[in-house]
Amino acid sequence: MDVDIEELAQHLVEKLHRIPAPQRLLVGVAGIPASGKSTFTVLLTERVNAILRERSITTTSSGSEGSASSGLGSSAEGVDAVGGDQSSRPLVQDQAILVGLDGWHLSRAKLDVFPNPQNAHDRRGIHWTFDGEGYVAFIKKLRDASNTLVITAPSFDHALKDPTPDAVSIYPYHRIVIIEGLYVFLAIQPWSEAGFLLDERVFIEVDIAEARKRLVKRHVVTGIAKDMKEAEWRADENDMPNGLFVISNMLEPTWTIQSKDIPLVE
């Protein structure tokens, strides 16, 4: 896993270096439930930011201005040239940010007005219980290099079991946006519109039986299911069908990462 993260992180930084500011690098990371994609994207985002900080410190120390022209190592706050206590703040702003697709879940109130509300709630997590159009609109805003405004994204509040609008802010200095979720590059409408706008499509591959085992355990441990029987039902009737649908209906990935060494926290 560490090798995969390092290789991909270095690739993303090099790719960012080749595109003009303020253009962004958009990276979609998909995988079936319990593939480890949440863990992977957190570690990937952290590593990308670490590399960018290291490069900024190196170029600043050597007096090079090369990073400024490419947008690498730029800081919204700036770096004091002489004097001032800089120990309390970072030299640069993190330029990579992680956004989760879960924020585009339809609210429970919206599921209530479906023709079959019970089925909509039971199948929550399938692609048609997401705001696909809203997700596509978000990706189009990120892709528009002329848009210098702050772009917001929703997040999912697990305590409320509903999305929170405008919970994540993407600033102009966020040059790499990593989007994680089941359907980030589905090959069906409207999702495919967003998928084709991504610079990289990363798929986390996992053995199906292993994913099911992880899911059942997770449902019991987190209390989503009251017992093993319900956990198995949730895995077999909702999670795994959704995952198999993704495998059969996704755009071709540009990267495939094996999940076997990824610790599960998602």
In a domain, 263, yes or no: no
pLDDT digits (tens, 9 = 90+) for 62-100: 554 444 334 444 433 332 233 334 344 455 689 999 999
Taking each helix axis from N to C end, the angle separating 37-62 and 2-17, rounded to the nearest 10 degrees, works out to: 50
Coil/strand/helix, residue 250: strand
The verdict on residue 168 lying in a domain is yes
Which of the four pLDDT bands, split at 50, 70 and 90, describes residue 1?
low
Pick from 205, 248, 240: which is nearest to 219 by CA?
240
Residue 155's domain spans which residues?
2-207+251-258
Domain contains 155: yes
| Within-domain flag for 231 | no
Residue 103, phi then psi, degrees to nearest 5:
-65, -20
Q: What pLDDT is attached to residue 148? A: 87
Residue 60 domain flag:
yes
Task: Give the pair of three-digit tokens for residue 183.
Answer: 């359907």
Q: Which residues are CB-neighbours of 258 under 8 A, at least 6 positions away?
A: 4, 205, 206
pLDDT over 70 at 213, yes or no = yes
- Environment class of 118 (CB within 10 Å of its CB; exposed 0-12, middle 13-18, buried 19+): exposed
Torsion of CA 238, 239, 243, 248, to 10 degrees: -10
For residue 144, give the 3-state DSSP assignment.
coil
Q: Which residues pair with 157 in a beta bridge?
A: 162
Provide φ and ψ at 206, rounded to 5°: -145, 150
When pLDDT is averaged across residues 123-134 and rounded to a whole number, the result is 97
Interval 224-265: pLDDT, tens = 899 999 999 999 999 999 999 999 999 999 999 998 655 544
pLDDT value at 204 more than 70: yes
pLDDT digits (tens, 9 = 90+) for 93-110: 899 999 999 999 999 999
Question: Distance between CA atoms of 102 and 131, rounded to whole angstroms?
Answer: 10
Burial per residue of 151-179, b for 16 or more beta-carbon CB atoms within 10 angstroms, e otherwise: bebbbbeeeeeebeeeeeebebbbbbbbb
In a domain, 238, yes or no: no
Q: How far apart are CA 123 and CA 96, in angstroms?
A: 33
> Is residue 232 one of the residues assigned to a domain?
no
The total of other beta-carbon atoms located within 10 Å of residue 235's CB is 24
Q: Which of 59, 33, 1 is nearest to 224 (CA)?
A: 33
Percent of the chain whose pLDDT exceeds 90: 77
Task: State residue 3's pLDDT score.
Answer: 74
Q: Assess if residue 241 is contained within a domain.
A: no
Q: How many domains does the chain have?
A: 1
3-class DSSP state of 113: coil
CATH number at residue 195: 3.40.50.300
